[in-house]
Amino acid sequence: MKGKIINSIDRTLQMLQLFSPQKPEWGISEISKELNLYKSSIHNTLYTLLNRGFVVQNPSNDKYRLSIKFFELGSIVFGDIDLRKIAHPYLEEISREFNETVHMGILSDGDVISIEQEKSNQSLHHQVFIGKRAPLHCTGVGKAILAFLDQEKIEKIIRDKGLKKFTENTIVDINKLQDELTGIRKKGYAIDHMEHELGVRCIAVPIKDYQGKVIASLSVSGPAFRIKDEKIILIKEKVMKCCDLISQKMGYIESIYD
């Protein structure tokens, strides 16, 4: 459907996308600098959002943060996703067995976004926030999805997003990444060897729907000194079995584990 982009709404959405778990509060000057917009325009937009209850203002520093209204709207979307309800008991089971962070991600605008998680209760554990975005090419949960996309879509994502280097282990060569994705398709799981964050290793397995399409992936992540090679074998066996069961409950008939 063709249409016309409304600039004022587009600017508002750009502003809203700045808010994140890492930086939940923004001031007018900060937004102006980040987006190269006039302060007066930002002030009027924020005042409108404030009046509608979509943002709140911190009286101690005059900065703005998103209000509970966004959670209420998000709950409408999440409430319609059966995948989260089906998968959550398995996340709990895996987390109990290995006592590491377990989370599930889906593809969103060329990134992977976390939609469910179970935290490790160990003092040192990998932090994953629901709603957190991460690149596809250097995370286990991302590569487990990227590998099963159409080649045309893989190339488009790489072209649009690039292959940003996060650590010395990040794959930034397109041919090496394609080889990595081929290996993931053959093995049925992906590993992040400290490619996104130093000291963190992840094992991730895809989840399929009734059409056989990969719709998500489930990842176990933790400090590299705990996620050693021998433990990776145990974790990937467990996660593959659980993802197989989740896929079956999503309507997938053939076993992805066999």
Render pLDDT for 239-251 as a digit per residue (tens, 0 to 9). 999 999 999 988 8
Question: Does the CA dihedral 72-219-142-258 come out positive or negative?
Answer: negative
* Cβ-proximal residues to 138 (8 Å cutoff; 6+ apart), any chain: 164, 166, 167, 170, 171, 192, 195, 196
DSSP, res 215? E
pLDDT averaged over the chain?
89
Of 130, 71, 39, whose CA–CA distance to 15 is shortest?
39
* Residues of the chain predicted below pLDDT 50: 80, 256-258
pLDDT, position 252:
85
Residue for token digits 């102006």?
A: 32
pLDDT, position 244:
94
Q: How far apart are CA 235 and CA 126, in angstroms?
A: 16
Residue for token digits 């302060």?
A: 39
CATH assignment of 81-249, among 3.40.50.1100, 3.40.50.300, 3.30.750.200, 3.30.450.40: 3.30.450.40
CATH assignment of 7-72, among 1.10.260.40, 1.10.10.60, 2.60.120.260, 1.10.10.10: 1.10.10.10
Q: How far apart are CA 144 and CA 183, in angstroms?
A: 11
pLDDT, position 130:
80
**Predicted confidence (pLDDT) per residue in 124-140, tens digit:** 556 677 888 899 999 99
The residues spanned by each domain of the chain are: 7-72, 81-249
At 226, list the tokens. 């705990």
